[in-house]
Amino acid sequence: MRPRKGLRVVTYLSSRRAGVLGFAVSALALSAASPALADTSSDSVISAETFELAASGDAEFAALPADENAAANSRVAAQPANPQPQAQAPAAAPARPAPPPPKDVDLRVVASQFIDVPVSGDARSLARYSGRVDGYLEVRGSFYGGPSNLTLKLRPEYTWGKTSNGEVGLIPGNTALFRPEGAGDFDLSASVEYRWNSGATLEVGKINVLDISGQLPIVASDGHFGFQNLGLALPPTAVVPNTLTGAALQIPKGKMIYRAWVYDPDSQYQRTGFETAFESGVGFMVAAARRTTVNRLPGVVNLAIVGSTRDSFAVDILPRALTPPPQPFGTFGNESGELAMQLSYYQFVKMYPEARGKGWGILARFQASMGDPTFLDYSGYFGVSGNPRFRPQDRFGLAYFQYSLTDELVDDIAFRLGIEDEQGVEAFYTYGFADGLGLTANVQVVDSAIAFRSTGVTVGARLTADF
């Protein structure tokens, strides 16, 4: 039996299934019961457009009011109780710039080269070189005479070289090079997205989850940018695969953003989606995100429930070294159905008026599952990330992460491999040479889940070009 660490709560181990479900239902009920969620005239409302622009660095949030009513309320609050006649009316606030119209054909290519080397711990101090190139092609229907709100998305990716993944920690330290064991270096995702005038979207096809993770405010890590460790860039769930085939619905409404997914729980890396055709069951996710403000700075809190109807563990994602013995010798994998809860919070702490959309903030996330047949029972992280004020074109980040394998799996493989919780710290700094070109220094300190390994330190460099 592995040692139970301080973060593992005894009551959680004894009533994990009921606790996760009860907490999720209670939190969802509280968020649904709040009357302020549907009030789009509150002075704390931030429009979806404003938040997304601020989060992506394409707008100066500090110069934009939350909405027209909020701006009016602020002017009224600033007036004295008995106002005196004014000789001259105050100048009108500058109009909010209109976003540029979307292109009929939009092509973007991002390429990164990596060098990393373990400098402390049990792994060999050997420098390893690798790289990844991703293409993002979007073609709107208006390009070929169809509806402009219909978009075809093509997403090729190619990787090469070797990294230190698996040399120190159990979880990959280089998200860009993460893929199922034995898989090749090339993959292609393709999907179709329909957008309603309300801003709601429906995307159907093969979707790379890295792209969704890269859109998270504050974190904004997708393997090319931000954090590199999988525990931060693409937090492992063991429920949602890294590449999925299915449908993703997103509906913004006032302060809220609602999401619903239905997908094949098997990883679709180097597959079209027709090979498995939901043979392992059906995966699902429902989520509600609420935009928040602290000192008129944007943030978001998100609650998500994920699960599947699969009858066995995710064989295509679980590393081979962790494969349990077959039943009846092993007990892991004899349960049916998965259910997990995720709670996330991202909040800007500072934004710079002199630099459009730049600033820094805090990030936090926690996930807990019912366990078997999910091979992770909890994971989480917290930290800070953003832009330094003296060089807002740069980025930095510092965060702690931890995750735990399900007890049944740990007990099944204890005779050949001792497993405990894995935790680590990652720090990075990206120096922006020019628009779309940056050099990142990265260091990761990881206390491996593999019990016989000592704490390891890996340092690395990443050169990224975005064009």
DSSP letter string over 168-227? S-SS-S-GGG---TT--SEEEEEEEEEE-TTS-EEEEEEEEHHHHHTTSTTT--SSSSS-
DSSP type of residue 101: P
- Residues 443, 459 contacting (CB under 8 angstroms): yes
In a domain, 459, yes or no: yes
Pick from 10-14, 199-203, 352-356, 424-428: least confident:
10-14
Q: pLDDT band at residue 319, thresholds of 50, 70 and 90? A: confident
For residue 156, what are the CA distances in angstroms to 116, 133, 160, 198, 445?
25, 8, 14, 30, 32
Q: Strand pairing partners for 403? A: 379, 422
Q: Is residue 90 pLDDT above 60, yes or no?
A: no
Q: Report the percent of the chain where pLDDT is more than 70.
A: 79
- Residues 297/377, Cβ–Cβ less than 8 Å: no
Asked whether the CA dihedral 214, 216, 428, 177 is positive or negative, the reply is: negative
3-state SS, one letter per residue, for 417-458: CCECCEEEEEEEEEEEEECCEEEEEEEEEEECCECCCCCEEE
Strand partners, 107: 137
Confidence grade of residue 381 (pLDDT, cut at 50, 70, 90): very high
pLDDT at 94: 55
The H or E element spanning position 342 is: strand 338-351
238 pLDDT above the threshold of 50 = yes
Once rounded to an integer, what is the mean pLDDT over residues 148-169? 94
Q: Strands 359-369 and 456-466, how do they pair?
A: unpaired
> What mean pLDDT comes out for the span 384-394?
96
Sequence-distant (≥ 6) Cβ neighbours of residue 398 within 8 angstroms: 383, 384, 385, 425, 426, 427
Helix (H, G, I), strand (E, B) or coil at 233: helix
CATH code of the domain in which 204 resides: 2.40.160.10
The residues with which 368 forms a beta bridge, in sequence order, are: 341, 378
When pLDDT is cut at 50, 70 and 90, the band that residue 97 belongs to is: low
Q: Is the pLDDT of residue 43 over 50?
A: no
Q: Is residue 163 part of a domain?
A: yes
Residue at 441 is within a domain? yes
Q: CA–CA separation, 403 vs 75, rounded Å?
A: 48
Checking if the pLDDT of 333 tops 50, the result is: yes
**Phi and psi for 20 in degrees, rounded to 5?**
-60, -50
Confidence category of residue 89, pLDDT binned at 50, 70, 90 = low
On whether residue 85 sits in a domain, the answer given is no
The answer as to whether 3 is a domain residue is no
List all residues 6 or more positions away from 129 whose beta carbon is below 8 Å from its beta carbon.
113, 114, 115, 161, 162
Q: What is the pLDDT of residue 327?
A: 76
- Measured distance CA(352)–CA(152) in Å, rounded: 36
| Contact assessment for residue 66 and residue 96, using Cβ atoms and an 8 Å cutoff | no
Select the more confidently predicted residue: 157 or 68. 157
Averaged pLDDT, 179-187: 86
Q: How many domains, the chain?
A: 1
pLDDT of residue 50: 37
Phi/psi for 420 (5° steps) reads -140, -170
Give the residue-averaged pLDDT of 294-315.
Answer: 92
Q: Which residue has the higher pLDDT, 450 or 9?
A: 450
Question: Per mean pLDDT, which range of 288-292, 293-297, 368-372 is the poorest?
Answer: 368-372
CB 243 within 8 A of CB 263: no
- Say if CB 333 and CB 323 are below 8 A apart: no
Asked if 139 and 147 count as a contact pair (C-beta separation under 8 A), the reply is no
Q: Identify the pLDDT of residue 82.
A: 52
In a domain, 127, yes or no: yes
Residue 424 bridge partners (DSSP): 401, 446
Q: Is residue 80 part of a domain?
A: no
Cβ 444 vs Cβ 119: under 8 Å? no
Predicted confidence band of residue 357 (pLDDT cuts 50, 70, 90): confident
Q: What is the pLDDT of residues 108-121, one digit of tens each?
A: 999 999 999 999 98
Instruction: Give the separation between CA 155 and CA 143, rounded to whole angstroms.
Output: 18
pLDDT classification of 99: cutoffs 50, 70, 90: low
Sequence-separated (6 or more) residues with CB below 8 Å from residue 94: 63
Q: Quick count: other Cβ atoms within 10 Å of Cβ 272?
A: 13
Answer whether residue 2 is part of any domain. no
- CA-to-CA distance for 208 and 197, rounded, in angstroms? 25
The one-letter code for the residue type at 150 is L
Mean pLDDT lowest among 144-158, 262-276, 358-372: 262-276
Residues of the domain holding 341: 10-72+101-466
The alpha carbon of 406 is separated from its chain's Cα centroid by a whole number of angstroms, namely 22
pLDDT tier at 179, thresholds 50, 70, 90: confident
Are the CB atoms for 118 and 458 separated by under 8 Å? Answer: yes
Contact 367, 16 (CB under 8 A): no
* Residue 74: pLDDT band with limits 50, 70, 90: very low
pTM, full prediction: 0.80
DSSP 450: B
Cis peptide before 156 (omega within 30 of 0): no
